[in-house]
Amino acid sequence: MTFSNQTHGIATGYTPTADDLKSLECWFARYDERAEKSDAEGMVNMGMFPMNLVSDDSEGNGVAAQWTRDQYLKMLAHEVPDGSADLKTESVRTPVFLSAQLALVFTEATMTTKDGTVKMHYADVLVKSDGEWAYQTMVQSGWGDAMKG
């Protein structure tokens, strides 16, 4: 994983400290480790619920939903490979801090399994509460149909 401190000219009024950046980078390293191990429960435990999800569907419509932990776990357990896929993820993440407790993170990811490689872009809103980061809003195209089910 590459963690970028470039903000692409976005000014938020808050400049993250080295500790801010390191804490978020470490959080994503733990998340990626769980994803590569197909640990859906562990991934869900890193979220703040209810969680906001924003996507689009196969009909070309934007879709937004707020899910409980159980709803998200059910979807994630279905979508995360069962471990036999030999998943390898490479990501470049660019955080934009709104404060020491709020960050938008833009990700460019490449996921590779025995079946091939998929490139994707997505964004997350992360919230720090009681000293721990959690993802609270996920924005990614292509999940709208699954969100309706």
The CATH number assigned to the domain holding 40 equals 3.10.450.50
How far is 13 from 132, CA to CA, in rounded Å? 22
Closest CA to 132 of 38, 31, 34: 31
The verdict on residue 2 lying in a domain is no
Q: Which residues pair with 67 in a beta bridge?
A: 51
The verdict on residue 129 lying in a domain is yes
The SS3 of residue 56 is strand
The verdict on residue 139 lying in a domain is yes
pTM of the model: 0.84
The verdict on residue 10 lying in a domain is no
Number of domains in the chain: 1
The verdict on residue 1 lying in a domain is no
The verdict on residue 3 lying in a domain is no
Q: What is the mean pLDDT of residues 139-147?
A: 91
What range does the domain containing 133 cover? 17-148
Residue-wise pLDDT tens digits, 6-42: 555 567 789 999 999 999 999 999 998 998 888 899 9
The verdict on residue 12 lying in a domain is no
Residue-wise pLDDT tens digits, 101-131: 999 999 999 988 888 998 999 999 999 999 9
